[in-house]
Amino acid sequence: MPVNLSIKNVPDDLAERLRDRARLSHRSLQGELMFILEEVVGDGGRMSPIEVLGMVRSLGVKTGEDAKDIIRASRDGR
């Protein structure tokens, strides 16, 4: 069942930027806010198989060992 949400005390400059963004996207303010929420929390950040393949290719991963090296370097960089 859908839920109504309300955001109170939105600063004028933020509200205006949201209105501008909605206008540029040819959406209502409500539609733009829904779009933003979907982008941020919509599907838990899941990627499609095509997106995963594109990311893997962009990283230059060719073998499982390449993937391990990238993960290890990422972890070591924290």
User: Which sign, positive or negative, has the C-alpha torsion 19, 21, 25, 30?
Assistant: negative
Those residues whose C-beta lies under 8 Å from the C-beta of residue 32, and which sit 6 or more positions away, are 18, 21, 22, 25
The alpha-carbon radius of gyration of the chain (Å, integer) is: 19
| Span 27-72, pLDDT tens digits | 999 999 998 888 878 766 677 788 888 888 887 777 888 888 888 8
Listed by start position, the domains of the chain span 1-45, 47-78
**Tokens 């960089």 sit on residue:** 77
pTM for the model: 0.52
- Cα gap 37→18, rounded to integer Å: 13
